[in-house]
Amino acid sequence: MDSRRIPFVCHTRRRHAAALLLLGALGFVLPGSALGDDEEPRVIRVSGEATASAPPDQVIVELAVVTERDRAADAVEENARLLDAVIAALRKEVGKQGRIETASYSLSPRYSYVKSSNTRSLEGYTARNSLRITLDDLDRVGAVIDRGTAAGANEVQSLKFTLKNDEPQHDEALRAAALRAMAKARTIADALGLDVEEVISVDETTRVVRPAYAEMAAGRASAATPVVAPGGVDVRAQVNLRVGVSPRDR
């Protein structure tokens, strides 16, 4: 054998070994190499969902003052006058037991369609100012709506019952969702003749709070305001699991 070729062979082997070490450091495994001797772990991926409910302890009402006038300035001025009266009446009703804040404000033109000329004609302007009233005393909802509409609010935009703190329900839903996901994993593993060995990863992907809405949640306010007793507030959670499994010993 020609001794002059030996250094080249050794140099090539060194470069191959260095490449393997570099790939290993980057997290890659080459099939058939020393780094790929371990088998890939067997994994089952599952998800579980659960919902926890609780009676509401807070109500959020949105009332709107809507004014329509030929001129924008007149619509804004009339709206501001009525809004001041509504806020004053609501403050007397809720006192320090509730919170009143602006939810939204808009000023927009109103058009009518002229069919004969296929054009739009400006009719006037609409100003809309919405107030959000938050109460802890659910029994006062009707009185708040009646007082606000009597003072000048002419739309009840929203009425929803919710929770001041939904963490206990969220924790309950999380526990149930995790147990449901693990039960799914065990069922799948058992059907395939496998045993669940360990939890590799777990994460929460969703958290949804569904407030209870009254039937009269939106629309024009009337002299007799129907207030429907709310149901429970639902808090939903979802948990994803990755579990390692192994063949069952027979």
The domain spans of the chain are 42-54+167-211+232-247, 58-162
pLDDT digits (tens, 9 = 90+) for 31-73: 333 434 456 679 999 999 999 999 999 999 999 999 999 999 9
Rounded Cα gap, residues 130 and 105, in angstroms: 6
Give the three-class secondary structure for 232: coil
Rounded Cα gap, residues 15 and 36, in angstroms: 19
CATH says 58-162 is which class?
alpha beta
pLDDT digits (tens, 9 = 90+) for 102-143: 999 999 999 998 887 888 889 999 999 999 999 999 888 889
Give the three-class secondary structure for 11: helix
- Any idea which fold 42-54+167-211+232-247 has? Translation Initiation Factor IF3 (3.30.110)
Per-residue pLDDT, averaged over 147-171, amounts to 93
Give the three-class secondary structure for 93: helix
Q: What is the pLDDT of residue 9?
A: 41
Give the pair of three-digit tokens for residue 64.
């709107």
pTM: 0.69
Give the three-class secondary structure for 116: coil
Torsion angle defined by CA atoms of residues 78, 81, 83 and 88, in that order, rounded to the nearest 10 degrees: -160
Return the biggest CA–CA distance within the chain.
Answer: 109
Instruction: Quote the distance between the C-alpha of residue 149 and its chain's center.
Output: 31
Rounded Cα gap, residues 137 and 58, in angstroms: 7
